[in-house]
Amino acid sequence: MTGLTAGTAYTFVVDAVNMDGTSYRYSDYGAQISVTPTATPSAVTSLTTNVSNNVTISYPDGASVGTGTGTYLTVSWGVPNAPGDAATISYRVEISGDGGITWSTLSSATTSTEHRWAPTPSLAGSQVLFRVTPSNVAGAGVASIVAATVPTQSIAGPPARPSPPTTLSATRGDTSVTLTWAPPLATGGLPVTSYRLEYSTTAASGYTVSSNNATSPFTVTGLTNNTQYYFRVTAISAAGTGTSSVVSATPNGPAAAPTALTYTAVAGAQSTLTWTAPTTSSNGGSLVAPNGYRVEQSTDDGANWTSLTASMGGVTTLTVTPPANGTTIRYRVAALTAAGLGDWEYVSATGTSNLVGVQALRATVSGSNVTLNWDAPATSGATGYKVERCLYSSTTCGAYSVLAANQSTSTLSYTDATAVYQSVYGYRVTALSASNLASVLVVHVAGTPTAPATISSSGSSESATITWTAPSQSPAPTLLGYQVEICSSACGAVGATYTVVRDSGMTLSETIGGLNNGVTYTIRVAARNLLGVGSYVSTTVTPRGAPAMPGDLQAIAGNGQVFLDWTAPTNTGGSAILGYKIEYGTGSSLASLNVVSSLSDPADTSFMVTGLANGTSYWFRVSAVNSVSTSGGALTSAIPVAVASAPTSATVITNASIPNALFLNWGTPTSTGGYTIAGYRVEMSTDGTNWTVAQANTGLTTQWNVRGLTNGQTYQFRISAITAAGYGAPAVVSGIPQFEPGVPLGTSVVAGDRRLTVSWSTPSNNGGSPITGYRVELCTESSAQVCDNDAFFVTVSSNTGLVNSYTITGLTNGTLYGVRVSAVNDIGVSAFGYANFRYVLGRPFSTPIAPNFLYTTSGNRFLDLNWGGATANGYPILGYRIEMTADNGVSWSTVSANTFSTSTSLRVNGLSNGVQYGFRVSAVSYAGAGAPSGVYFGTPRQTSSGGVPNLRASVGDAQVTLNWSSPSDTAGVPIVGYRVTHVAGGVTTVVTENTLSTTTNYTVFGLTNGTSYTFNVFPVTSNGYSNAGTVVARPQALSLAPREFKAQSRDRQVFLQWTAPSSIGSNNDQRLFYRIESSEDGSTWTRLTNVSVAATSYLVTGLTNGTNYRFRISLVTTVGVGASTMTSSTPFGPPTAVRNLAATAGDRAVTLTWDAPADLGGGQLVGYRVLV
């Protein structure tokens, strides 16, 4: 199938057709498959050239890129709007220096969308053409051409080297330092390929490379503890090595062991461990204050240790459960720093039983009140309790002051109402006795600091500075510093993401770099103390700076003018672009360019510079301007030249043979500007403002067929000649593509009485020309023709006008017709069909014709109805509607709205004997109920109350004999006969309405052997017939005669042989035996025996030799005695001895005499044998 649209998914449906119709009538769809055809690609988009040169350029970060002498032109383009098979697309790039007469290949099949070309110096200032042709698996597509002037010197610099990595930080460890960083803010337009990490013991020189391919975080190992190192990290791209970020750190080992580890015991109560923080590392170097302590205990003298706390922060005391009396516990404490776990300090404690001390000292804090509770000592002897308090400063508790000197032993609690909010206290309770043992507890009153009092912020390019003042309330513990965090998105939401910028230091300001201009950041600050981070105060700031330079600056030379076009910078510096500064000049120096426009519409990214001298090389610079500053300038050059005038006599012709297309014709321009025409560019637009390239270069032909248009849409076209000077003035024409309309939609047909009404919807596509009407055609489906053959369609209306339905009359009910509809406009007639089909089918119909006879048979409170003669009239009869009247037709009731059976008989029960009922019958089909038959009457009457008893059946060949007993109840009315019916295959047959005899047997003939029949026998009286007796029987044929029946004579015997009949007329399980009979005269037969159905031979004995016997054999089944076959034989044996043998002697002789044997054995005597 041709003529499809590339890239459009089509679904093809294939239906099977036979004489009855097409398969889609029975399911929504036939066999189907989806396919998307491809095509060669259309022309590339946005074909441009750009000049690149290697010169020294200073970027804002001060990185010097370096100097180069290479100059190149970069040809770049976009993927075609219609790429066909995009996965296989590639591009052929060619160059021409003679206006397109000859071409040289630069790249035969690149998959990139740009190509860099380095010209030779001798070509400087000349014009060249680049031609780019896309290809895919379907073949080569449409070529596009762009012109360019070979540059004479380099202007725009190569990509800059990366700026320094951001947020570089160092964490020191034991002979190591771990560094983390973020990517640079500026990469020069090229991706960062790696990071170089170096270190030195001096800031300015002596750096050693640790890794040329480092990733954050990165750990430098093998360093010397207590030595300060400088680390620098540098980003590397294809443009070279960027500027470094530097940070310093001093590695150190783990802390030395704490000192003055002391165990203070109270019998049965909680005891206390105290120690002093280490001041040096384990190797004697300086030490940052520990960030916590690990305390462990051992009950087996150090063999096994159990952790009491993993990290305690900066507190140097811990309450522990004392050893049991007489047992020893060994304790050890080590400091935690960034270098890991320090050395251990040890102390041992042994439990005693003669000490008097409080137990389970505990505290509850409520606001500024601290309530102490304890349990009495396990050992008596205390006379009272002394309660004392000390105040912690950093990690040291000051002198104790007495809160209660001698509290009664009956009071086991004390409330301190003089505690200061946000302070840390040590409480000591002593049981006053001979030993004066105390229990100590450290209590934190309240917690972290309040928020800083004030905060302010200011932004600059890619950075922000915040300042704040200390919290108005910052009681003990002493502030340790401030934590600064920053957020850039959804900062007010619950669970917003904040990044910690710093978490220590007492300075009240912070400058944060590496930010994105134009993004509003939320920055928050909180004070820290030993208890953690306090409340935050926040501010917002938006960094702003100069915008980036405009991108993709292109210069298109014209006659005394140059058209500049660029793209707005993606980085606006955080402020809206107000406009662009445009400058130009002719010299090699760019120091003093003429300002054409200082500020223009920010939405306008193009400008025409006029009044230029043809043949003169000009430089152009475009800079973006915002409220902060002016960006660096994007540079390009061009030489104004005279271009060709507009093509002449341009016309547009509607191509009625091709859908969605217009045919363009034009003449050559009157002026070519002194250059050879290399081809023509065709552009199109639907609004006269936005233009797309329909064909980048038609070649030297002056006509072009533009495809892929929308029928009915007005298009404008610009046709420009292409020369080495560029694109000439355009000739502008317009036209509307038109074609035959689309297929009518949703075609359907509704059948009626000898008519079909076909309906449809207006096509979604009128082909660009108004629809004037519709053509309707008809086909009759039969065994001789099918509607898939166009030759069998006849036109029933060549133009229905602007309607959406049409009724075809005069058809034959029950006949299948095909109908197809096509739309008509001034261009032509559409294709046939709807959806995936070419035509629709319909079968005219009406309701069935009424039955033409109906009779009733009376019974006891019922009437049997029988009818016939109904005609389907289009649709098959599904059942019958039965109506009844008991008032001679005044009113009717429905016995059955639809019997849903094609049976033409029905028993109506529940009637009243002696009442006359009228009935009428209507046939029912899919068309509904037809007209009713005439009215037929019947009256049910009383018969005997019961059916015939003992009904039984004897089957025979095509017959069944019925036997029964006379009914005992005849309702006082004599039986005059019997009604006999049978039912087979759902069809009831009346054998006889009345046997007219009281005989209680009846043989039904003419049956089909092997068919199961249900026989009904009804007693008949003068009142009608009563209930039936029922029996089921299956008539069977008698067996055929056995085959190959043979007789072999023996002495007073005959041996009989046979084979089974070819048909026994019934199933094998109905065979009984073989019957064998004999006769001497062929008239009178004597049964000899019955033998098994498995036997195939029999020996008849006791016969008389010489007597001719006839034998016959038949197979007996449950049906009866089958056909027989006959044979005959005469038994015989040797004769008996001769009688009366006598001998008379003579001269050397003896004469023998005898009489013949009395029994010749059934045979004829042929002679005698004499032995001597």
Using one digit for the tens of pLDDT, what is the confidence trace for 1114-1167? 998 877 888 889 999 999 888 888 788 777 766 667 777 888 888 777 777 777
Give the span between the Cα atoms of 435 and 1111, in whole angstroms. Answer: 144
Say whether pLDDT at 1110 is over 90: yes
Say whether pLDDT at 258 is over 80: yes
Which tokens hold the place of 208?
């050693």
Say whether pLDDT at 342 is over 90: no
Mapping DSSP onto H, E and C, the string for 910-971 reads CCCCCCCEEEEEEEEECCEECCCCCCEEECCCCCCCCCCCCCEEEEECCEEEEECCCCCCCC
Residue 853 lies in a domain: no
The reported pLDDT for the residue numbered 413 is: 92
User: Do 233 and 263 sit in the same domain of this protein?
Assistant: no
Residue 527 lies in a domain: yes
Higher pLDDT, 493 or 834: 493
Residue 23 lies in a domain: no
Banded pLDDT at 267 (limits 50, 70, 90): very low
The owner of tokens 């050559």 is: 668
Contacts 24+ apart (CB under 8 A), 1141-1148: none
Question: Phi then psi for 25, rounded to 5 degrees?
Answer: -70, -20
- Residue ending a domain, among 683, 706, 735, is 735
The reported pLDDT for the residue numbered 579 is: 87
Give the span between the Cα atoms of 943 and 213, in whole angstroms. Answer: 115
Give the span between the Cα atoms of 956 and 1120, in whole angstroms. Answer: 7
User: Do 953 and 1019 sit in the same domain of this protein?
Assistant: yes
DSSP single-letter state for residue 179: E
Dump pLDDT digits (tens) for 574-628: 888 888 888 888 865 555 566 766 656 787 888 888 888 887 888 888 888 888 8
Say whether pLDDT at 100 is over 70: no
Banded pLDDT at 269 (limits 50, 70, 90): low
Higher pLDDT, 439 or 629: 629
Mean pLDDT, residues 648-663:
84
Residue 17 lies in a domain: no
Banded pLDDT at 170 (limits 50, 70, 90): confident
Dump pLDDT digits (tens) for 138-159: 788 888 877 777 775 443 344 5
The reported pLDDT for the residue numbered 149 is: 77
Mean residue pLDDT of the chain comes to 81
Mean pLDDT, residues 705-710:
88
The reported pLDDT for the residue numbered 312 is: 57
Residue 775 lies in a domain: yes
Say whether pLDDT at 64 is over 50: no
User: Do 281 and 300 sit in the same domain of this protein?
Assistant: yes
The reported pLDDT for the residue numbered 301 is: 85
Give the span between the Cα atoms of 984 and 770, in whole angstroms. Answer: 67
The reported pLDDT for the residue numbered 971 is: 67
Higher pLDDT, 388 or 285: 388
Give the helix, strand, coil percentages of the chain, each rounded to 5.
Answer: 0, 50, 50
User: Do 279 and 337 sit in the same domain of this protein?
Assistant: yes
Higher pLDDT, 193 or 600: 193
Dump pLDDT digits (tens) for 784-805: 567 878 788 889 898 989 899 9
DSSP 1110-1167: EEEEEEEESS-EEEEEEEEE----PPPPPEEEEEEEETTEEEEEEEPPS--TTS----
Say whether pLDDT at 133 is over 70: yes
Say whether pLDDT at 536 is over 80: yes
Q: Bridge-partner residues for 652, per DSSP?
A: 664
DSSP 94-148: EEESSTTSS-EEEEEEE-SSEEEE---GGGTT-EEEEEEEEEETTEE---EEEEE
Distances in Å between the alpha carbon of 809 and those of 521, 755, 800?
A: 80, 4, 15
User: Do 1032 and 1065 sit in the same domain of this protein?
Assistant: no
Banded pLDDT at 387 (limits 50, 70, 90): very high
Cα torsion 216, 222, 226, 231: sign: negative
The reported pLDDT for the residue numbered 56 is: 35
Residue 959 lies in a domain: yes
Note the pTM of the prediction, 2 decimals.
0.31
Closest of 746, 759, 747, 875 to residue 807, by C-alpha: 759
The reported pLDDT for the residue numbered 836 is: 43
The reported pLDDT for the residue numbered 845 is: 82
Q: Which domain covers residue 403, as residue numbers?
A: 362-445
User: Do 535 and 560 sit in the same domain of this protein?
Assistant: no
Q: Residue 394 maps to which CATH number? A: 2.60.40.10
User: Do 949 and 1033 sit in the same domain of this protein?
Assistant: yes
The reported pLDDT for the residue numbered 680 is: 94
- Residue ending a domain, among 791, 813, 842, is 842
The reported pLDDT for the residue numbered 740 is: 80
The reported pLDDT for the residue numbered 733 is: 93
HSE on the CB side for 179, CA within 13 Å? 29
The reported pLDDT for the residue numbered 10 is: 62
CA angle 767, 817, 799 (to 5 degrees): 35
Question: Phi then psi for 419, rounded to 5 degrees?
Answer: -65, 150
Mean pLDDT, residues 3-28:
50
Mean pLDDT, residues 427-431:
86
Give the span between the Cα atoms of 185 and 162, in whole angstroms. Answer: 8
Say whether pLDDT at 23 is over 50: no
Mean pLDDT, residues 721-741:
86
Banded pLDDT at 58 (limits 50, 70, 90): very low
Which tokens hold the place of 494?
């619950």
Mean pLDDT, residues 932-960:
82
Residue 96 lies in a domain: yes
Say whether pLDDT at 334 is over 60: yes
Highest mean pLDDT among 581-585, 703-707, 840-844: 703-707
Number of domains the chain is built from: 10
- Residue ending a domain, among 445, 472, 495, is 445
The reported pLDDT for the residue numbered 82 is: 80
Q: How many residues does the chain have?
A: 1172
DSSP 842-891: E----PPBPPSEEEEEEETTEEEEEEE--B-TTS---EEEEEEESSTTSS
User: Do 529 and 612 sit in the same domain of this protein?
Assistant: no
Highest mean pLDDT among 285-294, 348-357, 1029-1038: 1029-1038
Strand residues in 692-850 grouped as ranges (E): 692-695, 703-706, 715-723, 726-727, 731-735, 745-752, 755-761, 771-780, 794-797, 805-808, 817-825, 840-842
Dump pLDDT digits (tens) for 1156-1169: 888 777 777 777 77
CA dihedral 774, 779, 781, 786 (to 10 degrees): -90
Mean pLDDT, residues 1085-1094:
92
Q: What is the enclosing helix (H) or strand (E) of 1031?
A: strand 1029-1033
CB 293 within 8 A of CB 278: no
The reported pLDDT for the residue numbered 828 is: 80
Dump pLDDT digits (tens) for 201-246: 988 888 999 999 999 999 999 998 888 899 999 999 877 788 888 8
The reported pLDDT for the residue numbered 406 is: 92
Give the span between the Cα atoms of 161 and 60, in whole angstroms. Answer: 11
The reported pLDDT for the residue numbered 24 is: 41
CB 924 within 8 A of CB 901: no
- The order of strands in the sheet holding 817-825 is 794-797, 771-780, 817-825, 840-842
Say whether pLDDT at 837 is over 80: no
The reported pLDDT for the residue numbered 310 is: 55
Mean pLDDT, residues 68-76:
67
CA dihedral 729, 733, 739, 745 (to 10 degrees): 90
Higher pLDDT, 857 or 1029: 1029
The reported pLDDT for the residue numbered 651 is: 93
Residue 354 lies in a domain: no
User: Do 726 and 771 sit in the same domain of this protein?
Assistant: no
Instruction: Provide the pairing of β-strand 755-761 with 271-276.
Output: unpaired
Dump pLDDT digits (tens) for 443-480: 767 656 778 888 888 888 888 899 999 887 544 446 77
Banded pLDDT at 270 (limits 50, 70, 90): low
**CB contact set of 1024 (below 8 Å; sequence gap of 6+):** 857, 858, 859, 860, 940, 941, 942, 943
User: Do 724 and 753 sit in the same domain of this protein?
Assistant: no
User: Do 468 and 534 sit in the same domain of this protein?
Assistant: yes
User: Do 621 and 664 sit in the same domain of this protein?
Assistant: no
